[in-house]
Chain A
Amino acid sequence: MSRLVTAGVTASRRRPVLVGVGCVVLALGIALASLEPGSLFTSMTSADVFVFEQLLLPRVLIALLAGASLALSGAVFQSLTRNPLGSPDVLGFTQGAATGALVGVTVLGGATLVVAGSAWIGAVASAALVYLIARRGGVTGGPRLVLVGIGVAAMLGGVNDYLITRANISDAAQAALWITGSLDGSTWSGVVLLAAAAAILMPPLILASRALRIFEMGEDLAVGLGLRTELLRLSALAAAVVLAATAASQTGPVAFVALCAPHVARRLTRASGPNLVPSALVGAVLLVAADWLARYAIPDRELPVGAVTGLLGGGYLAFLLAQQRRTGRI
């Protein structure tokens, strides 16, 4: 009997650990492969050293950090909105970031730092706007937040279309590259920024997974169990948006990572609850693998990482869904 209880509570805990370990190994493996370790041991010219230290290493680190940040934020959103399609986009995240970046490119001159900053402001501002509008009249629970997010995102989308069609073609191309997501501009300062954001925001979010598990059982029950739901919603949303926005300021809104990684993680771990840590690890694997492919898939041409993420993540999720249909799981 006691064994049964223990089994019931822990059976679903072993898989997540396995999945987590697998992800870490995979992420590090791919990361090492993309660092071209072969060249490390052969004679390196000073140019090689520069390429390795200033271009490759920060790029791989940013891929790992941004992937984990976006995915973690996506998992938090799916849990908070109790909707499998939840992602920071629910708060108009991608469109807001894109508006910021477009303004940065077309109006403010397009320097890397400027675009990153204005994209960050655009993402966080649109999220705050959505929350505040949804908040009017009390609670933000249920589909209300999602609906307001759709409305705001659509408006910003119109603004973005306008800016893109009115821009000259080179600005439009720069903006399109940024919106798709790219790791081209990776720098050490970007690594430091993302690492700092991750160090500050990830631990509290991961600690909140216990509360999120309670939250998933419905508003009434969560309050009955002593959860302050509105406080949790506001603080977790804010932390997740800032985390995702910081990642996006360096890579562009590779938003599909946020949507896809939690689903892949959930389907691999088969555990209930928000699966925050496995999601973050799957996100890191996804982005670093996508970047590796982006560089080597087509000889002599480099694809933007966001394009590969979509193909890889979308394709893999579709494959998982199709496979689970055949095996009769939900």
Chain B
Amino acid sequence: MTHRRALGIPAALGVLCVICLLSLAIGALPLSPAAVWHGLTDPASSAYPVVRQMRLPRTVLGLLVGAALGVAGALMQALTRNPLADPGLLGVNAGASAAVVTATALFGISGLGGLIWFALAGAGLISVLIYLIGGSGVGSPARLALAGTAVNAALYAYVGAVELLDTDALDRMRFWTVGSLADADFPTVTRIAPFLLLGALLAAGCARPLDALALGDDAATSLGGRPALTRAVAILAIVLLCGAATAACGPIVFVGLMIPRLASRFTGPSLPRILPYCAILAPVLLLGADVLGRVVARPAELEVGIVTAVLGGPVFLLAVVGRRS
């Protein structure tokens, strides 16, 4: 058992490295490994603009966003103990969408640089609202989920109404909503990195307390835990991770839902052991989907959000159906 566990992480990392290389090499212009290397290191190389300025930021962003979504998903499922729960339930996506549609329709902002701050603010604001309605620490997991669903519905209704009243907004939003890595650049990466770093630290900090919380509030308290504090920290971590990821590339919903379920098949239910797997496997899925999206529709590409859903769906189904009930 410990033997398998010791091998698991390096193996997953190996797969991740291969996927990263593929992400640098594959696209409208396929490159050999040597060309990739030159493109990374030699500004004079003809591959330099493609690799260094387009594919490298895209790969780095995919790594960060994927890891963030995977970890946020694991936290969310531990927090709510509900198989229907994904980070979107906390209003992250709906809040970001509402803020982005407001920014596009009312203020005419369209550049990614400006939208990031709106998205992040929207995600943060709405999660706090849902957390407060959902019982701020004392409520049952079902209550939090219900509050999330209610507020989400109201926000999506708002988004839908704005889109239908303003066709330009619809036109921009339909591409933002899909979730894509295509517009990645280094300024985006540096903008979201601090949020992700803080979120990751908080996630690592609350993993063990959340495990205790899985036994119920009373058991957790008797084990020396502080349920309300743990929940607050976990939610803050989710908002930072998922909010920043969504702000950078739009709502990519399925990763946070699927990866923790798959990861727990390797590790069992222990959150401190699930999180590293999530942080590695989620970028594997996201970058893999991104690479595939560049291949199948060449010379155009398929947005990563679409590929993740269509590709991840069957894998998820196999995992669910294959498991004995």
Given A133-B321, A152-B317, A314-B154; A85-B145 close (CB under 8 Å): yes
A contacts with B, residue count (CB < 8 A): 57
A144 in contact with B320 (CB, 8 Å): yes
Is B134 positioned at the interface, with any CB of A under 8 Å from its CB?
A: yes
Q: Chain A 153-178, CB within 8 Å of chain B: the 1/0 string? A: 01101110110110001001100110
Q: Tell me, in angstroms, the Cα distance from A173 to B306 when the chains sit together.
A: 20
Q: Tell me, in angstroms, the Cα distance from A151 to B149 when the chains sit together.
A: 19
For residue B56, give the distance in angstroms from its CB to the closest CB of chain A.
26
Q: Out of B139, B142, B154, B178, name the residue touching A84 (CB < 8 Å).
A: B142
Is A259 positioned at the interface, with any CB of B under 8 Å from its CB?
A: yes
Q: Out of B145, B157, B177, name the residue touching A310 (CB < 8 Å).
A: B157
Is B128 positioned at the interface, with any CB of A under 8 Å from its CB?
A: no
Q: Which of A136-157 contact B (CB under 8 A)?
A: 136-139, 141-144, 146-148, 150-152, 154-155, 157
Is B32 positioned at the interface, with any CB of A under 8 Å from its CB?
A: no
B146 in contact with A325 (CB, 8 Å): no
Q: Out of B133, B158, B164, B313, name the residue touching A322 (CB < 8 Å).
A: B133
B167 in contact with A306 (CB, 8 Å): no
Q: Tell me, in angstroms, the Cα distance from A259 to B313 when the chains sit together.
A: 24
Q: Out of A141, A155, A173, name the residue touching B170 (CB < 8 Å).
A: A173
A135 (CB) vs chain B CBs: closest residue: B321
A158 in contact with B316 (CB, 8 Å): no
Q: Chain A 204-242, CB within 8 Å of chain B: the 1/0 string? A: 000000000000000000000000000000000000000
**Which residues of A are found within 8 Å of B308, using beta-carbon distances?**
158
Q: Chain A 162-204, CB within 8 Å of chain B: the 1/0 string? A: 1011000100110011011000000000000000000000000
B321 in contact with A136 (CB, 8 Å): yes
Q: Out of A84, A148, A260, name the residue touching B320 (CB < 8 Å).
A: A148
A152 in contact with B164 (CB, 8 Å): no
Is B83 positioned at the interface, with any CB of A under 8 Å from its CB?
A: yes
Q: Chain B 274-312, CB within 8 Å of chain A: the 1/0 string? A: 000000000000000000000000000011011111101
Q: Chain B 140-161, CB within 8 Å of chain A: the 1/0 string? A: 1011011101111111111011
Q: Tell me, in angstroms, the Cα distance from A329 to B33 when the chains sit together.
A: 63
A138 in contact with B316 (CB, 8 Å): no
For residue B251, give the distance in angstroms from its CB to the closest CB of chain A.
10
Q: Tell me, in angstroms, the Cα distance from A260 to B308 when the chains sit together.
A: 29
Is A309 positioned at the interface, with any CB of B under 8 Å from its CB?
A: yes
A315 (CB) vs chain B CBs: closest residue: B154
Is B174 positioned at the interface, with any CB of A under 8 Å from its CB?
A: yes
A310 in contact with B153 (CB, 8 Å): yes
Given A137-B321, A317-B150, A318-B147; A165-B175 close (CB under 8 Å): yes
A177 in contact with B309 (CB, 8 Å): no
Q: Chain A 70-109, CB within 8 Å of chain B: the 1/0 string? A: 0000000000000111000000000000000000000000
Is A263 positioned at the interface, with any CB of B under 8 Å from its CB?
A: yes
Is B7 positioned at the interface, with any CB of A under 8 Å from its CB?
A: no
Is B90 positioned at the interface, with any CB of A under 8 Å from its CB?
A: no
Is A292 positioned at the interface, with any CB of B under 8 Å from its CB?
A: no
Among A141, A147, A159, A330: residue with most chain B CB under 10 A: A147
Is A114 positioned at the interface, with any CB of B under 8 Å from its CB?
A: no
For residue A71, give the distance in angstroms from its CB to the closest CB of chain B.
14
Is B84 positioned at the interface, with any CB of A under 8 Å from its CB?
A: yes
B83 in contact with A147 (CB, 8 Å): yes
B157 in contact with A150 (CB, 8 Å): no
**Which residues of A are found within 8 Å of B305, using beta-carbon distances?**
158, 161
**Which residues of A are found within 8 Å of B325, using beta-carbon distances?**
137-139, 141-142, 144
Q: Tell me, in angstroms, the Cα distance from A292 to B234 when the chains sit together.
A: 41
For residue A170, give the distance in angstroms from its CB to the closest CB of chain B.
8
A318 in contact with B151 (CB, 8 Å): yes
**Which residues of A are found within 8 Å of B171, using beta-carbon distances?**
169, 172
For residue B160, give the distance in angstroms from its CB to the closest CB of chain A.
4
Q: Which of B161-217 contact A (CB under 8 A)?
A: 161, 163-165, 167, 170-171, 174-175, 177-178
Q: Using CB atoms and an 8 Å cutoff, list the residues of chain A in contact with chain B.
A: 83-85, 133-134, 136-139, 141-144, 146-148, 150-152, 154-155, 157-159, 161-162, 164-165, 169, 172-173, 176-177, 179-180, 256, 259-260, 263, 301, 303-304, 306-311, 313-315, 317-318, 321-322, 325, 330
A-B pairs, 4 with minimum CB distance? A310-B157, A158-B309, A314-B154, A155-B313
Beyond A165-B303, A307-B157, A321-B134, 10 additional contacts (C-beta under 8 Å) are: A144-B320, A151-B258, A154-B309, A158-B306, A161-B306, A162-B310, A165-B175, A179-B160, A314-B150, A318-B154
